[in-house]
């Protein structure tokens, strides 16, 4: 499915994707020939090679990591996350305060933010953005979970935004929603069809302005000279569609590319001793999971898709759980560049990290898996095939991202492990897994999201409320999960302001998700990336101490990057300088159908962030 990135924040998050922020930057000392051909003159150009297509330039629709990352660069949010420790800091809002009953929140909107067409950004823009999401279901496609509890949003004056809630809401200082200019967007008719890709430049108030776009070719941006934090330090940013990961690494070696994220272990190893190249291996904010089709359905109760009925049996899901060796996946597939999977939230987010203990824990135990199936009535026939109570063979399909080598490698292990149980598995590797996922035409799928500092978004995509309204709709769901107990816990955490109590409820949610067996988190991949030290003089990691560069919660890397030439004081104003940044095939929070939030950016469909 698709993400955003919570890094939506889906939603698949590159689910098919930074939930909030891309991160990496640098200018090359020598412009690649292709970039020279594309860009003339003496301006500095930073070219980013992306492996993912833009699904929409509308912040109301975008689900993929690359798209939501672009929106992080183009529009301000009410608040941001500090690059050092991910604490909430001012964005478009400089201050915020709840009423005693926590049902009314008042935000002070900064006076020094202007839209790139020269108009002042005001509280009215924010009020219009949220109200449109509340009153138009199409405008709520990407980030509707944040406004579903809003009762009314007003702007008493240009610097004051007031949000009245139906009930308390714990995410009010982490609303990962791009604020758009009212005077531009109020002219839009059908939000379900408007992709914001016809008239340029696109008006925004973030650090960059989108100036041009060609489908599956490039997105061009220029610095927003009036950005309140200060303009970026290069003249143009180009995100060029670039699919092959090995070719990207080769380009890095040649100096045609300055940064490559999402390296495979083999690629990372080959670059360790390369001249002028540094490999960064940092704890990631993503999880890599096995999702099980729980029986695709819509809110109106209608079922659809072709999911295998045997997977509706908890015993079958538990047996499959027992037959997955997470340690082997970490050691052999990720070759140590990952942590063994446990709960839904990665260990990087210590406040919310949970892991099963004691009898609840489902460890790798093939014998236990065999016993569980036998006791539940799933016997082997004379040819050694496991069959259901209806005599139907347990032959499953798993959706695999064609560009992700981890999916393919793990798929082979699953075929081996489950094959010993008499269970067949067809690994269906596709360029576009979104279509069959949304139609419910799968049994299992490789899933993953980039998690935001506030985990609400990635938790919301498993609620009944996230299901599509009808079989013809998309919805905000990651995997069609609808569980009453889970919903009750989600509702409690969403209104709990006490940090310790809310953290406990979030852990209970993960426990419930683990027990249902619909989501098997196999690993937490590291952010393995490399950059040229002769191109990048300095770059911000997140968190500051040993953090990642690509896939941050915010725009810090792109906005603050220092090119090596500028840092040394030897910038050549007479030559064109360019930077190539490559976003690897697995990039995807965010946006599952990752349809959704900054963090989002998930990986179930095309945007593993």
Note the pLDDT of residue 248. Answer: 83
Note the pLDDT of residue 140. Answer: 92
Say if CB 606 and CB 52 are below 8 A apart.
yes
Helices (H), 24-105: 33-38, 65-74
Summarize pLDDT for 145-160 with one digit per residue, the tens.
Answer: 899 999 999 999 999 9
How many percent of the chain have pLDDT more than 90? 66
Say if CB 35 and CB 236 are below 8 A apart.
no
273 Cβ neighbours under 8 A, 6+ residues apart: none
Domains of the chain: 286-525 (3.10.105.10)
Confidence of residue 446 (pLDDT cuts 50, 70, 90): very high
Confidence of residue 63 (pLDDT cuts 50, 70, 90): confident
**pLDDT higher than threshold 80 for residue 596:** no
How far is it, in rounded angstroms, from Cα 491 to Cα 148?
12
Note the pLDDT of residue 588. Answer: 33
Note the pLDDT of residue 566. Answer: 44
Quick one: angle between helices 366-375 and 314-322, nearest 10?
A: 160
Summarize pLDDT for 532-585 with one digit per residue, the tens.
Answer: 888 878 888 999 888 998 878 889 888 887 887 643 433 333 333 334 444 443
Nearest CA among 352, 271, 281, 256 for reference residue 550? 281
CA of residue 7 relative to chain centroid, distance: 4
How far is it, in rounded angstroms, from Cα 477 to Cα 190?
22
Summarize pLDDT for 497-529 with one digit per residue, the tens.
Answer: 999 999 999 999 999 999 999 999 999 999 999
E strand or H helix at 310: none
Average pLDDT for residues 310-338, to the nearest whole number? 97
How far is it, in rounded angstroms, from Cα 242 to Cα 341?
30
**pLDDT higher than threshold 80 for residue 41:** no
Average pLDDT for residues 471-478, to the nearest whole number? 88
**pLDDT higher than threshold 60 for residue 472:** yes
Question: Would you list the DSSP string of 397-428?
Answer: EEEEETT-HHHHHHHHHHHHHHHTTT-EEEEE
How far is it, in rounded angstroms, from Cα 176 to Cα 482?
24
How far is it, in rounded angstroms, from Cα 468 to Cα 488?
19
- Report strand pairing: 536-538 vs 562-563: antiparallel
Lowest mean pLDDT, pick from 33-42, 76-85, 262-271, 378-387: 33-42
How many percent of the chain have pLDDT more than 70? 86
How far is it, in rounded angstroms, from Cα 448 to Cα 45?
33
3-state helix, strand, coil in the chain (%, to 5): 25, 20, 55
**pLDDT higher than threshold 50 for residue 45:** yes
Note the pLDDT of residue 375. Answer: 96
How far is it, in rounded angstroms, from Cα 170 to Cα 421?
45
Note the pLDDT of residue 342. Answer: 96
Per DSSP, what are the bridge partners of residue 394? none
Summarize pLDDT for 86-97 with one digit per residue, the tens.
Answer: 999 999 999 999
Average pLDDT, the chain: 85
Average pLDDT for residues 274-282, to the nearest whole number? 93
Neighbouring CB atoms inside 10 A of 40's CB total 9
How far is it, in rounded angstroms, from Cα 479 to Cα 519?
9
Summarize pLDDT for 161-210 with one digit per residue, the tens.
Answer: 999 999 999 999 999 999 999 999 999 999 999 999 999 999 999 999 99
**pLDDT higher than threshold 60 for residue 604:** no
Average pLDDT for residues 400-415, to the nearest whole number? 94
Say if CB 433 and CB 445 are below 8 A apart.
yes
Note the pLDDT of residue 244. Answer: 81
Say if CB 192 and CB 183 are below 8 A apart.
no
Say if CB 337 and CB 268 are below 8 A apart.
yes
């Amino acid at each position: 499915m698709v993400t955003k990135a919570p890094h939506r924040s889906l939603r698949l998050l590159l689910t098919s994707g930074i939930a909030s922020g891309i991160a990496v930057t640098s200018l090359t000392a020598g412009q690649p020939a292709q970039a020279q051909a594309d860009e003339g003159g003496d301006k500095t150009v930073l070219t980013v090679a992306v492996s993912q297509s833009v699904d929409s330039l509308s912040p109301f629709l975008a689900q993929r990591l690359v798209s939501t990352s672009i929106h992080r660069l183009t529009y301000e949010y009410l608040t941001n996350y500090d690059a050092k420790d991910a604490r909430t800091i001012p964005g478009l809002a400089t201050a915020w305060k709840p009423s005693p009953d926590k049902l009314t929140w008042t935000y002070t909107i900064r006076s020094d933010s202007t839209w790139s067409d020269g108009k002042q950004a005001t509280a009215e823009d924010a009020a219009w953005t949220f109200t449109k999401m509340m009153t138009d279901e199409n405008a709520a496609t990407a980030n509707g979970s944040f406004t579903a509890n809003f009762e009314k949003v007003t702007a008493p004056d240009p610097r004051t935004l007031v949000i009245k809630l139906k009930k308390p809401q714990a995410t009010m200082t982490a609303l990962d929603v791009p604020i758009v200019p009212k005077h531009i967007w109020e002219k839009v008719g059908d939000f379900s069809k408007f992709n914001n890709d016809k008239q340029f430049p696109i008006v925004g108030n973030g650090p960059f302005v989108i100036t041009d776009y060609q489908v599956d070719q490039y997105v061009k941006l220029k610095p927003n000279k009036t950005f309140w934090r200060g303009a970026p330090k290069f003249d143009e940013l180009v995100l060029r569609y670039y699919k092959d990961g090995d070719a990207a690494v080769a380009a890095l070696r040649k100096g045609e590319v300055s940064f490559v994220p999402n390296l495979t272990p083999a690629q990372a190893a080959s670059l360790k001793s390369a001249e002028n190249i540094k490999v960064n291996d940092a704890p990631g904010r993503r999880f890599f999971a096995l999702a099980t089709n729980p029986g695709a359905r819509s809110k109106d109760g209608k079922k659809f898709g072709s999911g295998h009925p045997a997977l509706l049996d908890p015993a079958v899901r538990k047996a499959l759980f027992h037959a997955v060796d997470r340690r082997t996946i970490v050691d052999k597939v990720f070759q140590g560049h990952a942590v063994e999977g446990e709960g839904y939230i990665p260990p990087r987010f210590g406040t919310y990290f949970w892991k099963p203990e004691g009898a609840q824990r489902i460890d790798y135990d093939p014998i236990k898996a065999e016993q569980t199936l036998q006791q539940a009535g799933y016997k082997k026939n004379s040819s050694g095939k496991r069959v259901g109570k209806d005599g139907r063979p347990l032959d499953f399909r798993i959706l695999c991202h064609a560009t992700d080598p981890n999916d393919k490698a793990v798929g082979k292990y699953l075929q081996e492990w489950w094959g010993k149980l008499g269970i067949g598995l067809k690994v269906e590797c596709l360029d576009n897994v979104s279509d069959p996922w949304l139609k419910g035409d799968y049994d299992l799928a490789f899933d993953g999201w980039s998690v935001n500092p506030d985990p609400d978004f990635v938790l919301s995509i498993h609620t009944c409320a996230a299901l599509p309204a009808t079989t013809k709709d998309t919805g905000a769901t990651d995997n069609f999960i609808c569980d009453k107990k889970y919903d009750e816990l989600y509702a409690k955490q969403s209104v709990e302001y006490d940090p310790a109590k809310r953290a406990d409820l979030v852990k209970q949610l993960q426990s419930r998700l683990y027990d249902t067996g619909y989501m098997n988190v196999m690993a937490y991949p590291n952010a393995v990336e490399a950059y040229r030290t002769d191109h990048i003089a300095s770059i911000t990691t997140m968190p500051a101490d040993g953090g990642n560069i690509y896939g941050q919660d915010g725009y810090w890397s792109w906005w603050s990057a220092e090119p090596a030439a500028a840092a040394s004081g030897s910038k050549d104003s007479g030559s064109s300088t360019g930077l190539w940044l490559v976003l690897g095939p697995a990039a995807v929070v965010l946006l599952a159908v990752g349809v959704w939030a900054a963090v989002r950016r998930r990986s179930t469909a095309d945007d593993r962030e």
